[in-house]
Amino acid sequence: MVVELKKEEYSIAKNLFSGLHFQINCLAVLNNDAKGRIWVNNKEDPQSGLLVDSIYVMYFAGNPYSVNFNKDIVKIINNEIFPASQADSDTPNEWYMSYDDPAWQYILEVEFEKNNPTPIELYHFIFSENKIKNWREEIPDQYSLHQVDSYFLKQDNLKNHNHIANWINRSWKSLDDFLNRGFCFYITFNDSEIVSWAISDWATEDKIEMGITTMEGYRQKGLATLVTAAAADYCTKEKNELRWFCATHNIPSWKTAEKVGFIKFKEYFILCGDFK
C-alpha cells in the first residue's frame, strides 16, 4: 500500500528520511520550503518512503524490502513521475535516484527494472572560511559582478538572463520566496551578457545549497571562483550554512569548492539512467 501525504502531513515522514537530510533539496521538501511530493507505506508508522523534489530527483528511505510498497511505487514512477519529468524542458533527460540504505541500489536495479542504471559517486561540501579574501579586486576588466534583485527579475535584456530565471522558477516556490531566502551572484561581460553565476538551489532551516555555471568560452578565467566567493561572503554575513555537491568526476567543480573554502564532509552514491 502507498499513501501520498498532503503538504501539512510532511512532518510525518521527516524521521523516516533522516538519513537523507544532508541533501538540502530533500530536507527542504520535508520542511515545506520547496516544491515536491512524498509517498509512504502508511501514515501511522511509515517504514518506507519516496520523496520527489521539484526537479524530479527521487529519494528512497526506510525499508527497501516492502514488496507491496515497491510494486505500487513502480506504477507511480512510471505513470506520474517519469512522464512529468520528460515533459518538463528544464529538467535533465535522465532520471536520478538517491537512497539512505545501500540495499536500495539492488532493489532499484532489479525489482524496479530500470534500464542499466549507473551509480554516480558524489562529494558533499560545507563552507568553512573564505580563502579568496580580495575577490572584489580580482574581477577582470570588462567584467562586473552583481547580485540578483527584484529589478533583475523584471528585465531580460541581458543575454542568458533566462537561464537564471528558469533556475529560480524550477527550485523555488515563488520569486518572492527566492528574494527573501535565496541569492544569486552573477558576472557580466561588457554589461551585456551573463557569463557566470552562483545561485542558491534550495534553502531550509539555516542551510542553503548552491550551484554554479560558467558559459562556454568564459571558463578557466577564475569567474566561477569569484561568484562563489561572493556567495560565501553573503551567506557568512547572513549566518547561513552554505552547502555544495558535485560528482567526483567533476574535477573543476570540487576544485573550485575547495579553492574558495569548502570542506568535504560526505561521499555517497546515487543512481542515474535514461528514460528509454
Domains belonging to the chain, first-starting first, are 3-114 (3.40.630), 126-267 (3.40.630.30)
State the cell numbers at 86. Answer: 520528460
Q: Are strands 58-62 and 94-99 parallel, antiparallel or unpaired?
A: parallel
Quick one: pLDDT at residue 165?
A: 92
Per-residue model confidence as pLDDT tens digits over 78-98: 899 988 888 876 666 788 999
* CA distance linking residue 91 with residue 84, whole number of Å: 10
Rounded percentage of the chain residues whose pLDDT exceeds 70: 97
In the structure, how many helices (H) and strands (E) does the chain have? 9, 12
**Apex 26 CA angle, 32 and 244, nearest 5:** 120
Q: Nearest to residue 213, comparing CAs of 203, 201, 202?
A: 201
Per-residue model confidence as pLDDT tens digits over 32-83: 999 999 999 999 999 999 999 999 999 999 999 999 999 999 999 989 998 8
What residues of the chain score a pLDDT lower than 50? none
Quick one: pLDDT at residue 156?
A: 79
Quick one: pLDDT at residue 109?
A: 80
Quick one: pLDDT at residue 43?
A: 96
- The whole-model pTM stands at 0.93
Other residues' Cβ atoms within 10 Å of the Cβ of residue 15: 13
Other residues' Cβ atoms within 10 Å of the Cβ of residue 108: 21
